[in-house]
Structure 1
């Protein structure tokens, strides 16, 4: 009888310990709402943009957007090992934030009035310009030269919309899910030009396998203010990210990371924009 009492008491203690452990483990499986501990934060980036957001063959990630996102995550309380990178293609960025797939997105995400109706933006943290990537011997020198030409861009990009509406309405526009396909089409001669931000184009042109084949037209067809997208109404995260971006600029990290990622492409980048000020 005495043995049964001890056994019952031991079982009760064990049950409490298991329950406590279970509660503790569920708290650590965080998707990115708070830093510290063993929690994770999910961040959206591009996987196919050299110099900005690229998934390397060995499974690591590189690029300016990756460096910016890593710095911001650090200010939010997350170590690099706690970051889970999520590929967010241009056409799915708003949906990814609305679904809660990611905490924030740093993926050459141009701030536009249309997008601001669906998501909130921190920044801008970089100013790029829409341009054209063409072959070295191309005769395309201005936007209107695209009329009647085969042009490539990606689904959901502001660059494609800009060409169709204002620059060259008669261009034969082809859209792909990623820029890598467009660059391959340009190399093969299937298209005459690729349009997107000059920062993205410079990264592709600088890749070893494309060196000497392409050139940027240098047209500056638009101003593209890159912002960090957060879920609409998440003001707390928005303010923290803006504070992190200001510190990144002031402590010299922004300049260092820009030179590291764009230097090899000899890309003439703009100075760091002021947080909260959109360049029209």
Structure 2
């Protein structure tokens, strides 16, 4: 990963991937009779996000929750988890490759927003997270207010910049932003001191945290990930139906547990917002002080 060392948590996730692949495709029911024709399902995934879509440096294969969900979609829509072609994408290519017909869908930590829904169809959420902020332990920054006047590294075309900007205005501080095409580039910029903080969704940050960094306790704006497809495309409804079935039969929860990711649901978010809270709810890895705080 461009010289970035892997955390213990990442290695644990990678070790579980082989067993994950063997187990997929057996649960639930098949939607293959409703699926569009074609030999394989072409899905874009990240390759630089531990736990979601990450290229194992030892095997070269891409592993994580979103790869497993893609295999499950292939099993349910095509009748075979191996009827799948995955392509590595980033924040600048995941939409463009749907637009030009290279991909049928993307499973790439793609947050559902009203603006994006004007361009793409999204399935119901398969994962819910919150925006987090990672800083160096020796920076002296211990809370969001400590970022006043600092530069935050964010991903191109992501929702993070706008959400953090809104939060900064609310408490009367000013942020600067530097945008990068990939998450490893942001982590390298943080280590090198070119940015003061690295911000993206908290579960993604946990894969980049190490002994020199600290995940700030403040979290912002629930982020709902959906499978993106072409607007009005033939795969939009079948994929949404399959995600609904995976949620109902426990497949999604099982896959999240396998990768040590948040178990937060829409109901959890609604309940916490109604109570005036912003946390991720029970079962989230950020609740583990050894992973989510300064250790």
Larger Rg: 1
Q: How far did residue 67 of structure 1 move? A: 1.3
**Is this contact kept in 2: 1:125–1:273, CA < 8 A?**
no
Q: How far did residue 82 of structure 1 move? A: 2.7
**Is this contact kept in 2: 1:91–1:157, CA < 8 A?**
no
Match of 2:44 in 1: 44
Match of 2:71 in 1: 70
**CA distance, structure 1, for counterparts of residue 187 and residue 165 of structure 2:** 20
**CA distance, structure 2, for counterparts of residue 33 and residue 143 of structure 1:** 47
**Is this contact kept in 1: 2:149–2:175, CA < 8 A?**
yes
**CA distance, structure 1, for counterparts of residue 212 and residue 37 of structure 2:** 46
Match of 1:272 in 2: 265
Match of 1:241 in 2: 239
Q: How far did residue 230 of structure 1 move? A: 0.5
CA separation of 1:78 and 1:146: change in aligned 2, threshold 3 A: farther
| Higher share in helix | 1
Match of 2:113 in 1: 112
Match of 2:180 in 1: 176
**Is this contact kept in 2: 1:74–1:80, CA < 8 A?**
yes
How many residue pairs were aligned?
232
**CA distance, structure 2, for counterparts of residue 158 and residue 241 of structure 1:** 24
**Is this contact kept in 2: 1:43–1:104, CA < 8 A?**
yes
- TM-score after normalising by structure 2: 0.72
Counterpart secondary structure, 1:92: coil
CA separation of 1:273 and 1:125: change in aligned 2, threshold 3 A: farther
The within-5 A match list for 1:119-198 is 119-167=120-168, 170-198=174-202
Counterpart secondary structure, 1:256: helix
Q: Which runs of 5+ in 1 are unaligned?
A: 1-31
Q: How far did residue 138 of structure 1 move? A: 4.1
**Is this contact kept in 2: 1:249–1:272, CA < 8 A?**
no
**CA distance, structure 2, for counterparts of residue 34 and residue 143 of structure 1:** 50
Q: Which runs of 5+ in 2 are unaligned?
A: 1-34, 274-295
Q: How far did residue 114 of structure 1 move? A: 0.8
Counterpart secondary structure, 2:190: helix
Match of 1:250 in 2: 248
Deviation per residue, 1:225-261 (Å, 9 max, x gap): 1111010012x42221222112222332222211221
CA separation of 1:162 and 1:271: change in aligned 2, threshold 3 A: closer
Match of 2:31 in 1: none
Kindly report the root-mean-square deviation, in angstroms, between the aligned alpha carbons of the 2 structures. Answer: 2.3
The within-5 A match list for 1:57-96 is 57=57, 58-77=59-78, 79-96=80-97
Q: How far did residue 68 of structure 1 move? A: 1.4
**CA distance, structure 2, for counterparts of residue 123 and residue 216 of structure 1:** 28
Q: How far did residue 132 of structure 1 move? A: 0.2
Q: How far did residue 198 of structure 1 move? A: 0.5
Q: How far did residue 166 of structure 1 move? A: 4.4
Q: How far did residue 270 of structure 1 move? A: 4.0
- TM-score after normalising by structure 1: 0.75
Counterpart secondary structure, 1:170: coil
Counterpart secondary structure, 1:69: helix
